């Protein structure tokens, strides 16, 4: 049986600026900052499995659009939620809300969608390949017109799943904006923009079952 991951501990690698996770975070924050420039008001962001919210909170802290953003961070671990809420308060980001809810369920996003920016960081490496493909196929229901989805996935040198994820985004009505990959750091950060009409949001949809 796989041992359960301690999701507070998982975030400790961010404390080391030289870690792979910190390198990934810098790329994600840069891509978020760029995406925020692409939209007029309103500007809604949702984050699936937001953890401590380091990506969005870090990107927003000094961003010129910070006051225009309403965000919903969906996370299950109370300890990470507390840290994320402290960071939101410290950065005085009044439009950012952190909720304890199951990010796998569409209902958890009610009130925060349709979103111009959807974050799926640290998700696609923790669910089955079939669930990754299912989540990508259903993610448009969280999206506003021309929404940007920013996602991550580790790079497996034996079997790189990132190209398959990109193909699935294209099948789901997205075009690729960028793909940052690093053989050395073994991660990929993808940015895809929805170029088809967003479908209706539906309650009761299950995107994935997080492996814990």
Residue with tokens 């990959």: 181
Applying CB under 6 A, does 46 fall inside the site for ligand SAM? Answer: no
CA–CA gap between residue 107 and residue 1 (Å, rounded): 30
Residue 124 binding ligand SAM, by CB under 6 A:
no
7 binds ligand SAM (CB under 6 A): yes
CB of 75 to ligand SAM, least distance (A): 5
- What residues pair up with 196 in beta bridges, in sequence order? none
Is 74 near ligand SAM (CB under 6 A)? yes
Indicate the residue among 7 and 109 with the shorter CB distance to ligand SAM: 7
Question: Shortest Cβ distance from residue 141 to ligand SAM (Å)?
Answer: 17
Indicate the residue among 173 and 207 with the shorter CB distance to ligand SAM.
207
Among 58, 77, 116, 153, binds ligand SAM (CB under 6 A): 77
Q: Which residues contact 194 (CB under 8 A, 6 or more apart)?
A: 140, 143, 145, 146, 147, 148, 149, 173, 174
- Pairing assessment for the beta strands 115-120 and 43-48 based on DSSP bridges: parallel
Residue 127 near ligand SAM by CB under 6 A: no
Measured distance CA(89)–CA(116) in Å, rounded: 23
CB nearer ligand SAM, residue 49 or residue 117? 49
């Amino acid at each position: 049986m796989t041992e359960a991951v301690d999701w507070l501990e998982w975030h400790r690698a961010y404390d080391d600026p030289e870690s792979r996770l910190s390198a990934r975070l810098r790329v994600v924050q840069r891509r978020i900052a760029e995406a925020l420039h692409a939209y007029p008001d309103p500007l809604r962001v949702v984050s699936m499995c937001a953890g401590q919210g380091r990506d969005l909170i870090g990107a927003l802290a000094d961003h010129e659009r910070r006051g225009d953003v309403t965000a919903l961070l969906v996370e299950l671990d109370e300890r990470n939620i507390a840290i994320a809420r402290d960071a939101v308060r410290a950065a005085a980001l009044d439009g950012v809300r952190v909720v304890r809810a199951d990010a796998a369920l569409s209902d958890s996003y009610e009130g925060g969608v349709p979103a111009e920016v959807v974050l799926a960081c640290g998700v696609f490496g923790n669910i089955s390949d079939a669930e990754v493909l299912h989540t990508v196929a259903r993610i448009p229901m969280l999206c506003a017109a021309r929404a940007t989805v920013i996602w991550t996935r580790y790079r497996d040198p034996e079997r790189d799943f990132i190209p398959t994820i990109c193909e699935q985004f294209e099948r789901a009505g997205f075009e690729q904006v960028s793909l940052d990959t690093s053989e050395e750091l073994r991660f990929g950060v993808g940015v895809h923009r929805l170029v088809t009409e967003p479908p209706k949001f539906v309650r009761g949809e299950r995107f994935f079952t997080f492996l814990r």
